Amino acid sequence: VSAKEMVIEIQKSGVIAFSAEACVGCGTCELMCTLYHEGVGGRELSRIRILRDPFNHEYQALICPQCLAPSCYAACLSSGDAIRIDEVTGARYVDEDACMLCEDCIEACPFEPPRIRMLDGRETVVKCDLCREREAGPICVEYCPVDALAFIARSER
């Protein structure tokens, strides 16, 4: 089953949209993501990452776009079936207990750098899951002080 053929089979996901015009590079998104998902302070483990150019005050974000036709999902179907589709949000997420660390999903991700990553000391790959278990939605969006991040629900995508 190719990713293209799956479009009709799997549901759409909500997605986090980024405004480079609004972003001030404070990194609150990275820190809140890391705090919520990993329980530590830091930037390196964040599912959302900000590329910084402080001398021009310009920033870019690396965010999983929750592809309509997710190659990572397709790649994992034939290996470990650890990438799932959340029934409520549609988020493409990793079932961390099921991940076998084969890295097929990382290879399949069409983005550079891949939006799925290995983290030191973790026995699973990690990716943005839109904070699917969090009632208020993605924590990065909620805490962004300048509204550079917005959550677009799947119904509006």
Partner 1 sequence: VSEPKSYGWAGTVLHVDLTSGAITRTPTAEYEPEKYIGGVGLNTRIFWELGCPKVAAFDPANPLIVSVGPLTGLPGPFNRAEVCSISPQSYPQELFTYSGFGGKWPSEFKYAGYDAVVVVGRAEAPVYISIHDQDVRIVDATGYWGLDTYEAQQAIIDRDPGTSVLCTGPSGEKLSRNAVIANETGNTAGQGGFGAVMGSKNLKAIAVHGTGVVPIAKPREFLALIEDRKAKGDWMVGGPQSWARGPLDAQGAVRDEMIEKYRKKYAGCFGCQYQCTAFYDMPGVGKGQAMCASWFYADLNQDSRAVWEAQVASQKLGINHFDLIGIWFVLQEMVERSVLTDEEWTAAGLPPVPKMWGGEATDHEFLSALYGGIADGTSPFAAGGGRGFHQLIKSLDKEEELRTLYETRFPASGQTAHYFGWLGLALHVAMDTRDAGNSTDAYLTFGGRPDVAIEDPEEGLRVAERTGKHFGMPTGLTTYGFAEGSAIKAEYAGIERLTKWTLSNHHLKNSLPMCNFACLPDQFFDPPEMDIRVFESTLFSLVTGVETSVDELWKAGERIWNLRRAALVRRSGRTRADDTFPDAIFDTVWLDGDGLEVHETQFVREEFEALKDRYYELSGWDVETGRPTRAKLEALDMTEVADLLEREGYLGERRAS
Per DSSP bridges, beta strands 15-18 and 149-152 are antiparallel
Selection from 125, 124, 122 nearest residue 114 by Cα: 125
**Element of type H or E holding 5:** helix 3-6
Indicate whether 39 belongs to the interface with partner 1 (CB under 8 A). Answer: yes
Contact between 139 and 33 (Cβ < 8 Å): yes
Indicate whether 34 belongs to the interface with partner 1 (CB under 8 A). Answer: yes
Binding-site string for partner 1 from residue 44 to residue 83, where x marks contact by CB under 8 A and - marks none: xx------x-xxxx--------------------------
Q: Give the burial class of 145: count Cβ atoms within 10 A of its Cβ; 0-12 exposed, 13-18 middle, 19 or more buried.
A: exposed
Footprint on residues 97-126 left by partner 1 (CB under 8 A): none
Indicate whether 133 belongs to the interface with partner 1 (CB under 8 A). Answer: no
Q: In terms of CB distance, is 36 or 100 closer to partner 1?
A: 36
Q: In terms of CB distance, is 11 or 19 closer to partner 1?
A: 19
Segment interacting with partner 1 (CB under 8 A) among 32-40, 67-75, 76-84, 102-110:
32-40
Contact between 53 and 86 (Cβ < 8 Å): no
The total number of residues written for the chain in this structure:
157
# residues contacting partner 1 (CB under 8 A): 27
- Distance (Å, whole) CA 27 – CA 51: 10
Indicate whether 27 belongs to the interface with partner 1 (CB under 8 A). Answer: yes
- Residues near partner 1 (CB under 8 A) are 22, 24-28, 31-32, 34-36, 38-45, 52, 54-57, 143, 145-146
